[in-house]
């Protein structure tokens, strides 16, 4: 792991507000941060919507430097209270509506959470910054307080098969209500740095995977459906390409950005693992056949079924992380083969985590999206 304490042997403890910290990437980040920086104060703010799961953070609840607060990022009064009472110097902003399919069915929630919610946090943090006293001294390489906005590669739109990967200067061209709402929030974050001098940093990441991911997303959906003997639905012809990033590698990157990133900058975070959806599903099937002893259907590939493509389905995403590598020294450490094996093993041994999530609401959503 690369961080300022290793390079300079001096590190000022931070006081973090992590929004969306009970969600997939947020919860992995919280676990990572508490393990690596036990002296830091970590306050999680999460509305516990369908994709937020407080049980994911249960092991941290008794830590003296950890606090969980159930609440909405659109609640300005709550944001003000938390920033001031907890003397927050670092905001790690993960909270977002994040599933493209749900944004097609109901875009309003995406605009409210992703745009209005981010605006609310920025305004609260701007007022908080006016006190100035909350910023820790710049020492040992630390750059002081920061508002880290965690975004997506989907804001850049879709790539052709031979197009170069997205860079930080790629023009925005979002194609779904989800990616449009994230693009809007990115623009707000950038504007608050250039207009008000707020110490903001934006990261745009490729598709994440790993433990604690809600069952609606592709990889857990395939793992769980294979375990319960349901069809493995693949959109269209299955030739859509995604760059897959293991979630712990993402957390490592965010660590480096928080400690050494430059305010006002954007950093792309990719896994260097471009895979066609159908090839990814076939790899997951092979791993399930190998690792799961009591599958209802074997081989798993017999469950693969092609379903009607979703509207506006981007053909290919790919991230160029050269800036992050050359300026901050980060590279992904987990290959997609290693990461998928770890992820499949996690879902096999954590039925107690994902089985309660297969609610009637989830089943109704599933039928609406995948059953014609």
- The tens digit of pLDDT for each residue in 110-125 reads 999 999 999 999 999 9
> Is residue 178 annotated as a catalytic residue, yes or no?
yes
Phi, psi of 265 (to 5 degrees): -95, 160
For the residues of 123-192, what is the DSSP string, one character each? HHHHHHHTT-TTSPP--TT----EEEEEEEGGGG----TTSPPB-TTSPP---SHHHHHHHHHHHHHHHH
Tens digits of residue pLDDT in 43-57: 999 999 988 999 999
CA triplet 112, 114, 115: central angle to 5 degrees?
Answer: 70
> Is residue 154 annotated as a catalytic residue, yes or no?
yes
Cis peptide bond N-terminal to 299, omega within 30: yes
Per the DSSP assignment, residues forming a β-bridge with 93 are: 19, 149
> Is residue 365 annotated as a catalytic residue, yes or no?
no
Spatial separation of the C-alpha atoms in residues 103 and 26, rounded to whole Å? 20
Residue of 40, 46, 101, 153 marked catalytic: 153
Helices within the chain (DSSP H only): 4-8, 24-36, 76-85, 100-105, 108-110, 118-129, 177-196, 218-228, 247-260, 277-291, 322-328, 336-349, 351-354, 360-370
Residue 188 confidence (pLDDT) = 98
Residue 137 confidence (pLDDT) = 44
- 226, 286 Cβ separation under 8 angstroms: no
Checking if the pLDDT of 136 tops 50, the result is no
| Listed residue (195, 150, 163) closest to 274, CA to CA | 163
Tens digits of residue pLDDT in 256-295: 999 999 999 999 999 999 999 999 999 999 999 999 999 9
Q: Which residue has the tokens 């092979």?
A: 286
Residue 310 confidence (pLDDT) = 86
CA dihedral over 206, 212, 215, 218, signed as positive or negative = positive
| Listed residue (58, 187, 45) closest to 124, CA to CA | 45
Checking if the pLDDT of 357 tops 80, the result is yes
Sequence-distant (6+) residues with CB within 8 A of 131 are: none
Spatial separation of the C-alpha atoms in residues 231 and 307, rounded to whole Å? 10
Of 103 and 299, more confident:
299
Tens digits of residue pLDDT in 314-331: 999 999 999 999 999 999
Residue of 32, 37, 178, 366 marked catalytic: 178
Residue of 40, 101, 154, 168 marked catalytic: 154
CATH superfamily of 4-210+244-272+313-334: NAD(P)-binding Rossmann-like Domain (3.40.50.720)
Minimum mean pLDDT range among 120-129, 143-152, 190-199, 302-311: 143-152
Please, which pLDDT band fits residue 369 given cuts at 50, 70 and 90? confident
- Name the residue ranges covered by the structural domains of the chain: 4-210+244-272+313-334
Q: What is the pTM of this model?
A: 0.93
């Amino acid at each position: 792991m690369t961080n300022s304490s290793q390079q300079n042997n001096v590190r000022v403890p931070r006081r973090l507000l992590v929004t969306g910290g009970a969600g997939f990437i947020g919860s992995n980040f919280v676990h990572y941060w508490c393990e690596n920086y036990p002296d830091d104060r970590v306050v999680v703010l999460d509305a516990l919507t369908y994709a937020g799961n407080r049980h994911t953070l249960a092991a941290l609840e008794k830590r003296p430097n950890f606090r969980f607060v159930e609440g909405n990022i659109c609640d300005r009064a709550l944001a003000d209270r938390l920033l001031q009472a907890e003397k927050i110097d670092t905001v790690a902003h993960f909270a977002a509506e994040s599933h493209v399919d749900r944004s097609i069915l109901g875009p309003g929630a995406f605009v409210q959470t992703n745009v209005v919610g981010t605006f609310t946090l920025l305004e609260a943090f701007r007022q908080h910054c006016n006190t100035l006293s909350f910023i820790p001294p710049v020492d040992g390489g630390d750059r002081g307080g920061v508002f880290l906005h965690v975004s997506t590669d989907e804001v850049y739109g879709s790539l052709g098969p031979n197009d170069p990967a997205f860079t930080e200067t790629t023009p925005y061209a979002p194609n779904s209500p989800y990616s449009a709402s994230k693009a809007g929030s990115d623009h707000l974050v950038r504007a608050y740095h250039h207009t008000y001098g707020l110490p903001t940093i934006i990261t745009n990441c490729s598709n994440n995977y790993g433990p604690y991911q809600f069952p609606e997303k592709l990889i857990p959906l395939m793992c769980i459906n294979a375990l319960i003997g349901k069809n493995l639905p693949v959109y269209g012809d299955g030739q859509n390409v995604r760059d897959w990033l293991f979630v712990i590698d993402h957390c490592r990157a965010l660590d480096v950005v928080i400690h050494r990133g430059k305010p006002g900058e954007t950093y792309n975070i990719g896994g260097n693992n471009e895979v066609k959806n159908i090839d990814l599903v076939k790899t997951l099937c092979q791993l399930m056949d190998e690792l799961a002893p009591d599958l209802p259907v074997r081989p798993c590939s017999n469950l693969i079924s092609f379903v009607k493509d979703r509207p506006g389905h981007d053909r290919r995403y790919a991230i160029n992380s050269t800036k992050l590598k050359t300026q901050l020294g980060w590279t992904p450490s987990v290959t997609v083969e290693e990461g998928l094996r770890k992820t499949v093993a996690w879902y096999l041994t954590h039925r107690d985590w994902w089985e309660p999530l297969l609610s009637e609401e989830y089943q109704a959503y599933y039928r609406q999206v995948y059953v014609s």
